[in-house]
Structure 1
């Protein structure tokens, strides 16, 4: 009989959570585009491009959460998780995050039509967001919950924008920051639920825990690709390069 080694044993709950949190080193807050944003180096057009493209991700979030609900047989989990949809869609009384993001677009100088028409969304952003939604539709609901755990790292980036934008981008209307202020409390609540499900479900073996880390890395990659695509879409291309890009292959 083969002896069980330390590398076969599951990490303790505390060790597993620490491994998950360590993934924050790859969060898109460290992407060059987001570093430029924090340092106040983006042009107005680049910031507008970011807002317009990220709207596609915002409208994908409740679709992802609806997919999780449709795959989850646990009533108690569904009762807690469903609030995420109204957080973004609104509930007829309270304005949701999607509407708050549209107002962010207006605060940076876009029209409602600019944002909601999706005409400014790059193909790379569409591909990455659609891949994330499809993952939630096709994989076990616990894996989809795990993929949402990038919200572990979100409060910091929201606070960063609230603190730095009034100084770095004083031309942005203050009401545009409502979305980030709203998510400060919502994300912390969401983390508690998502982390609890992940720690419970994936702690049965080391292999399962490593699978959870792979899933979280997948979501980090999605966010990184979104930032890559936005950076490319908002980079000025010379006229001769534009002509080349239009030539048939």
Structure 2
């Protein structure tokens, strides 16, 4: 598996292109994203060590939702979701030999996870189309809900955080629907292509791997959605 690193500029923001076959682009905003494919693990280890007291003190009670508020407009919600999914990725990657394996790409395809990866999505800086892009984001967020339902079952100790992510993501979809007319075909396309029962495995390691791939995919999706939503407020179409 070849990992390609190069510096690019997307929507005027300095970003780091890092991913399988050079296709996944993730903005780091000054922080290391533990769901990314970055190979800078020595520095990441130091960052993790420094932040352990803060992570360990994160709220885990049923009040988790009320203690985490989003600053700014709805376009900032994806950044919050990136942060929360990143925490969960760090947690699940404590499982030995789980993360960054050679089977990640094929498993991601099998799971039919939503992606923003081509010009046709309307969400890339090349031929950006506000209505098309926001309609896709709306549809994809609804598709992600079945995967979040699975995570609540596969990661019961993190259920409060996952519920928080689910509530925030649905709120984001509602906000998107309020600013752009969603075509009827996109509403119909929002139905999940997979069931929760299809995601479960009797093997704990395989189940953890599925959970990790879902978290990684949602994390990367929200990074790209954040850029698209920020860009959408500057264009009229």
TM range (shorter): 0.3 to 0.5
TM-score (norm 2): 0.34
Identify the structure with the greater helix proportion: 1
TM-score (norm 1): 0.33
Identify the structure with the greater strand proportion: 2
